[in-house]
Amino acid sequence: MTENTLRLTVQCYAGHRADEAPQRFFFGERKVEVIETLDRWLDPDHEYFKVRGDDQRVYILRHDVAADRWELTMFER
C-alpha cells in the first residue's frame, strides 16, 4: 500500500460477471453508500471506480484484482 491510499472493505453488486460495481464501502467504522458510479476504467492490474457517496463526496476506489484488495486513492469534498 502506498502513502496516498487507504484500505477499504467494499461490498459490490454481483451481476452476471461476479463483482461488478461497488455498492458501499467501509473504512474503520464509517460506512459510505454509493449513490452513483461516475466513471470506471481499467489498467493491466487494477479496476478503478469513480463514485459519489451518500455524503455527496466523490471517491476513486481502486481494486487490485490479483490480490482482491480495495483501496481509496482519492476523495473530494
pLDDT of residue 53: 97
Q: Which three cell numbers stand for residue 72?
A: 481509496
Q: Within a domain: residue 11?
A: yes
Mean pLDDT over 17-43 rounds to 88
Q: Within a domain: residue 1?
A: no
pLDDT of residue 5: 62
Q: Within a domain: residue 53?
A: yes
Q: Within a domain: residue 35?
A: yes
Q: Are 38 and 58 in contact (CB under 8 A)?
A: yes
Reported as a single tens digit per residue, the pLDDT across 32-76 is 999 999 999 999 999 999 999 999 999 999 999 899 899 999 888
Overall pTM surpassing 0.85 (yes/no): no
Q: Tell me the longest C-alpha to C-alpha distance in the chain.
A: 35
Q: Within a domain: residue 32?
A: yes
- How many residues can be counted in the chain? 77
Q: In whole angstroms, give the CA distance from residue 59 to residue 21.
A: 13
Task: Please tell me the total count of domains within the chain.
Answer: 1
CA-based torsion, 40, 48, 73, 33: positive or negative: positive
Supply the range of the domain harboring residue 70.
6-76
Amino acid (one-letter) located at 4: N
